[in-house]
Homo-oligomer: A and B are copies of this chain.
Amino acid sequence: MFFELYWQYFVVGLILYAICRGGYIFYSKSQQKTLRGIDKKNEEAYEILQSSSSSSSSDNEGGEEDELTPALPKDLKHIPLEYTRFSSEESLRRAEDFYTLMNARRTIRHFSNEPVPIEIIRNIIKTAGTAPSGAHTEPWTYVVVSSYEVKQKIREIVENEEEINYKKRMGKTWTTDLKPLQVNWLKEYLTDAPYIICIFKQLYSYREDGKKKMHYYNEQSVSLATGILLTAIHYAGLYSLTSTPLNCGPALRTLLGRPLSEKLTLLIPVGYPAEGCLVPDLKRKHLDEIMIEV
């Protein structure tokens, strides 16, 4: 009797319960996401994990778990390390010399159009290619542009986006912080420098057996390789500018014909400094500001 009269209230109650419950689950999931967002690195790692475990489950669809084969040869040999041992004194002298050399490196924004033999650039790229990478995936592509027409197109894309970046997207604090460095959205160096090295990170690639090969820590690996690249550029007596073209990635990827699995991370013009090149009078932090001994 009672139920027959008031069943609608039960229905409403049940639905309200479902809403609260569903809402709670959704909320706690998004909370978890936020928590994960706190540690960006972790989040990236989780993405790698998710993509790797999802590809692993699809790999398994047609077979046994044991069928999984690594991207590197299963029976990869391990060989004795060959190395030159310096004395402590020699090590210290070399460490000091290298610091003195690298401390003379400066980023420049005014390039001469004087040509540079391509063989120097090839050695520099080979040196960058010696960088370590997550699970030895070597997730990098270096597009070296010397064609004036292509450099002009790159400059056009970058200047258009950068004008919007500076005027609208970057915000007052960022553009104010950049003022002392006298930079803006005009990038003459993109057509002046004999080379622009466009660095792409590869999110993934394909193995010989057609399976997707995950590139773990590709962002970190490529940035780290760029550090070695800059060192090689400086060692060879050339100059560079480390630039991050905000929002230009997709247009430049299309222009340079790179696949969707690659993303542009840096644009590095390389060459000699222009006559009378000025640099901002910046000081570097002292050792005790960057190193803590425990």
Indicate if A138 sits at the interface (CB-CB under 8 A): yes
Q: Are B265 and A81 in contact (CB under 8 A)?
A: no
Known interface pairs A19-B15, A172-B56, A231-B228. Does A80 touch B181 (Cβ–Cβ under 8 Å)?
no
Interface residues of A in 111-162 (CB under 8 A from B): 116-120, 122-127, 129-132, 134-136, 138, 140-147, 150
Whether A3 is near chain B, meaning CB under 8 Å from some CB there, is: no
* B125 touching A174, Cβ below 8 Å: no
Q: Check A279 against B224 for contact (C-beta < 8 Å).
A: no
B130 touching A284, Cβ below 8 Å: yes
Chain B contacts of A108 at CB under 8 A? 81
Interface status of A226 (Cβ within 8 A of chain B): yes
> Interface digits, A268-281 against B, CB 8 Å rule (1 contact, 0 not)?
00001100111111
Question: Can you list, as one digit per residue, whether each of A72-89 has a CB less than 8 Å from chain B (1) or not (0)?
Answer: 111111111111111010
Q: Is A246 interfacial (CB 8 A cutoff)?
A: yes
| Interface size band for A | 35 or more
Q: Do A292 and B144 form a contact, CB below 8 Å, given A99-B232, A242-B132?
A: yes
Q: How far, in whole Å, are A5 and B190 apart by their CA atoms in the complex?
A: 72
The residues of B that contact A266 with a CB separation of less than 8 Å are 220
Q: Does A188 contact B (CB under 8 A)?
A: no
Total copies of this chain within the assembly: 2
A44 to B247, CA, bound (A): 11
- Whether B78 lies near A95 (C-beta < 8 A) is no
Let me know if B142 and A94 touch, CB within 8 A. no
Residues B237 and A94 in contact, CB atoms below 8 Å apart: yes
Knowing A42-B247, A106-B81 are in contact, say whether A293-B146 is a contact too (CB < 8 A): yes
Are A177's CB and B70's CB within 8 A?
yes
Instruction: Say whether A102 contacts B120, CB under 8 Å.
Output: no
Contacts of A98 in B (CB 8 A): 123, 127, 231-232, 235-236
Taking the nearest CB of chain B, how far is it from the CB of A222, in angstroms? 8
Interface residue from B23, B56, B99 paired with A173 (Cβ < 8 Å): B56
Q: Is A186 an interface residue (CB 8 A)?
A: no
Give, as a whole number of angstroms, the nearest-CB distance from A62 to chain B: 15
Q: Verify if A290 is at the interface (C-beta below 8 Å from B).
A: yes
Give the residues in chain B near A95, CB-CB below 8 Å: 119-120, 123-124, 127, 232, 235-236
User: Which among B180, B278, B290 is the interface contact of A140 at CB below 8 angstroms?
Assistant: B290
Whether A280 contacts B78 in the complex (CB less than 8 A), given A98-B235, A177-B214, comes out as: yes
4 extra interface residue pairs, beta carbon distance < 8 Å, beyond A68-B172, A79-B280, A256-B294: A70-B180, A82-B104, A177-B216, A227-B227
10 interchain residue pairs of minimum CB distance: A227-B227, A53-B171, A223-B223, A8-B8, A95-B123, A76-B180, A86-B237, A56-B173, A56-B172, A95-B236
